[in-house]
Every structure is written in C-alpha cells, then in structure tokens.
Structure 1
Amino acid sequence: MADTIKTLITGVDKLSPTLATIRNNIEGFETRLEGSGLGNVEVGEMIKGNALAEPLIAGVKAAIGFETSMAGVKRSVTFETPQQFQQMSSDILDLSERLPESANGIAAIVAAGAKANVPREELTGFASDAVKMGVAFDQTAAESGDMMASWRSSFQMTQPQVAALSEKINVLGGNNLEKKIATMVTAMGPLGPVAGMASGQLAAMGATLASVDVPADVAASGMKRFMQSLTEGGAAKAGAFEALQLDVNQLTQGMQSDPS
C-alpha cells in the first residue's frame, strides 16, 4: 500500500509541470481573446451553434462539388496524361478566382464545350469568353457558351472569330440589345458558312431591327429569307437584278466568297 501511494505521489509530481503549462496556455488564450474583443464569446455556444464547423463543412461540400464537376469534364474531354487533367483543374480554379463564375459553373461550360467539339487546348479560353459574354449580354455564362458553340459549328468559326463577333454585337447592342441581336445571329445557323462570313453584317442588320422593337424571331426569319434570296437567285430575281444593271450570278458568288 505504501508503495502504491509513493508511486501516485511521484506521478503527480511529474504531471504538475505539464498541468501548469496547460493552465498557462489557457490563461494566455483567454488574454488574447480579451484583447481581440472576443473575450465574451462562449466557445461552447460557438460549437453548439456550428459557428466553427460551418466554414469547414462548406469547404468540404465545395470540394466534393468541384470533384463531381471535374468528373463530368473527364467524361467529356480526352486527356492524354493525368497531368493534363490536373492542369485543367488548376486552370478552372484559377478562372473562378478571376471571373464572376464559380469553379463548378466553369467546369460545366468546359464539359459542354468539349461535347460541342471545342478542342481541349481551347476549352479554358472558350469558358473564359463565355463568362465575359454572359456579363456583357446580361445572360448566363452557360447560355453564352451554347451560343458560341452554335456559332463555331454552324458558321465554321474559330474561337478568336467567335470572340470578335461577340465584341461586335456588344458594341452594336449599346448595353441593352446585345442578347436580342445575338439571338438573331444564332438563328442564321442553318445558312451555314455563308452566314458566318456575313456575320458582322447580319449583326448590324439585327441591331437595326432590334432598335425599332422588331421581335427577335420575326427579325431572324426576315433576315434568313433575305440571305436566301441573295444566294439562291432564280429567273425572276435575275430579271430584277438585270433591271438594276447587276449580275445576279456575280452577286451570288460574291456573297458566298466575300459578303462584305
């Protein structure tokens, strides 16, 4: 019994410095809380109300959401190496810090662009242009991405050409008609590359019609018929052009090779 008591006393003596250190650390923590103005905050209440846990939970949820979004990108994009996939993830996160769009939103645009046959090396530029166009046209970045994909496919445009057309529409729209003009231009898709070569002129025509409140669908139908009449020709039209001293064949070929 005496040996047991002696052992306990020895243990307490050895533990005392450790307890003193813990007590000093707690007192120092309380002092720093007082100095920061948080001295009256009840730590127990913070934990009970999830005030400390919420940022951590939100961070975990965001990470899981981004991982899910990147899984969608991986299904849509062909990556030759794991490093290319990691670089894409890094690029998307970087864009989300510089542009007004979440990483998940940008990843969705990248995946949609890949499905629209945008080359892998152009996808981040495509997503960046979509976000910027969305802001300028007062529409979502996803809507802008769909429009750009349509222009690339229907008009056989490169991404720089798509970005240039977007900028033309932005200038013509005057901060309130951009989306309407873009909708009209997009509706010209069935005309293919011919409309693509005349996209600037079509945008200007669309701006004129939009400025006098012609509905977008009505304006688009009229513009489409106008373009078709110029490129299709026909005997009656040839006579009309002849009366105007114009060669319909030359005009048709000119519209197809140089619509300006």
Structure 2
Amino acid sequence: MGNDIVAMSRKIPMAATKLAKIVALGGQSGIAQNDLMRFTDSAAKMGVAFDVSAEKAGQSMAELRSAFQLDQSGVETLADKINYLGNTTPAAAKCIMEIVQRVGAFGTVAGYNTGTVAALGATMRGFGIQEEMAATSIKNMMLALVAGETATKSQKATWKELGFDHEQIAKDMQKDAEGTTLKVLEAVSKLEKYKQASTLKELFGSESLLGIAPFLTSIDTVKKI
C-alpha cells in the first residue's frame, strides 16, 4: 500500500504523508480494505477541490458515507454535486459540505436525496446564511414538513390556512420532497407580505426564519439548482 500511496502522490498535488493520513482515517472509519485506495484518491481530490486539509477531507468523506449510508460511488456522486454547486453558486464547496454534514441522515429520513440537501445548503449559504444557521433551518423545515399528526395545533391551523392538509404534506414528502417543499414555499410567497414572516415562524420556528425567508423571493433560483 505504501507504494500505491507514493504513486498516487505523483498524480495528485498532495504529499504522500498526507495521503497516508487519509488512508489511516479511512481504516479507522471502517472503510473496507479493497476500498481504501479509491477512498483515499477521492478524498484527496475533494480536499484539493474544496480547499480543505487532508484530514478534513478524509473525515468528511467518511462521515458522509456513514450518515447517508453511501458506498464509495455514492459519496463520490455527492462530492461531485457539492463541487458543482461550489462552482455555480456564490457558496464555497467546503461550506456546502459542512451544511450537508450538519444536516446528516435526517435529510434522507425526511425524503430528500443528498443532492437536494446540498442544493438547499448552497442556496442558503449563497444568501449569506452561516453554516450552522443554514443546517438548523433546513432541519427545522424538514421536521415541520414531515410532522404529520405530530404537528402542533397552531401548525395544523397554519397548514389549513395555506390550503394544505398536514398529513398529506407528510405523505407527499416521501414521494417528492423537493417538489413538496417548493410547493409550500410558493404558497407562503403568495401571501400578503405582512403574513409571510409569521407563517414561516409558525411552521418552522423563529430560529429558522432568517435561513428560510430568503427563499420566498428566490423561488426560481431554487428551482434551477
């Protein structure tokens, strides 16, 4: 494996010692022996593209694999999506990656694919929302959308005012989470201005208001991403 690491260092702008750290991180994270070199190669390239350290790249890739139950091909696809968003939106790839990590597996439980979580994160970060706030806003939005019968009395009333049934929204999230989310945001955006903030606060909580509110004036941008 040592020879493989040296050979890899000649192809990727990263020292063999740093590549060895990624190999070690992969091993500690339970990456199968036959996947270690591919994992290391992908993590190293991600580190260079995202402008993060070897340790950060290795740890992040291992955590993404675990959180979203992805194989190496799956995590590479996610990394490519994050890199694409980093190149085509105002958000830096490393910031998008951190948001995705903070949201974690809850995104898939709520019905979102990993690419959608990354796109939401990129959009919020592009609005200037910091990573922690963005992740919290996304998770709270997801919780409200999938709440179903566990929604509070006031949330149920708010869903009704928007023309939705709280249980149906939860069911729709499992069929088309992205479409359902956009449908809800569009409905809120069509309310009179003075009602929009209070509606978002009622559904998603006050701590999520700053992160979610910018979506209301950027629906078309969100659709494109």
What range is the shorter-chain TM-score in? 0.5 to 0.7
> Which residue does the alignment assign to 1:164?
77
For 1:166-205, what aligned pairs fall within 5 Å after superposition? 166-174=79-87, 177-189=92-104, 191=106, 193-194=108-109, 197-205=112-120
Can you list the C-alpha shifts for 1:205-257, whole angstroms capped at 9, x where unaligned? 11111112111111111111111112223253444444545443343244346
Contact 2:145/2:170 (CA < 8 Å) preserved in 1? yes
After TM superposition, which residue ranges in structure 1, 4 or more long, deviate above 6 angstroms?
Answer: none
Contact 2:107/2:142 (CA < 8 Å) preserved in 1? no
Q: Does 1:259 align with 2:174?
A: no
Q: Which has the larger radius of gyration?
A: 1
Q: Does 1:227 align with 2:142?
A: yes
Give identity over the alignment, percent.
36
- Which one scores higher on RCO, CA 8 angstroms, separation ≥ 6? 2
Q: Give the aligned residue type for 2:115.
A: G
Contact 1:155/1:197 (CA < 8 Å) preserved in 2? no
For 1:202-217, what aligned pairs fall within 5 Å after superposition? 202-217=117-132
Give the alignment's TM-score, normalised by structure 1.
0.59
What secondary structure does 2:129 align onto?
Answer: coil
| CA–CA separation in structure 1 for the residues paired with 2:111 and 2:78 | 10
What secondary structure does 2:177 align onto?
Answer: coil
Can you list the C-alpha shifts for 1:93-145, whole angstroms capped at 9, x where unaligned? 22112111122211211111121111111111111111111111111122111
Q: CA deviation at 1:201?
A: 1.3
What secondary structure does 2:69 align onto?
Answer: coil
Aligned residue pair count: 173
Deviates more, 1:196-205 or 1:134-143: 196-205
Contact 1:156/1:196 (CA < 8 Å) preserved in 2? no
> Which residue does the alignment assign to 1:92?
5
For 1:1-260, what aligned pairs fall within 5 Å after superposition? 88-174=1-87, 177-189=92-104, 191=106, 193-194=108-109, 197-233=112-148, 234-236=151-153, 237-256=155-174, 259-260=177-178
Q: CA deviation at 1:147?
A: 1.0
| CA–CA separation in structure 1 for the residues paired with 2:175 and 2:70 | 15
| CA–CA separation in structure 2 for the residues paired with 1:196 and 1:95 | 38
Q: Give the aligned residue type for 1:134.
A: G
Contact 2:147/2:166 (CA < 8 Å) preserved in 1? no
| CA–CA separation in structure 2 for the residues paired with 1:166 and 1:143 | 14
Q: Which runs of 5+ in 1 are unaligned?
A: 1-87
Contact 1:154/1:193 (CA < 8 Å) preserved in 2? no
Q: CA deviation at 1:171?
A: 1.2
Q: Give the aligned residue type for 2:77.
A: A
| CA–CA separation in structure 1 for the residues paired with 2:70 and 2:171 | 20
Change (3 A) 1:209 1:192: closer
| CA–CA separation in structure 1 for the residues paired with 2:129 and 2:110 | 20
Q: Give the aligned residue type for 1:217.
A: E
Give the alignment's TM-score, normalised by structure 2.
0.68
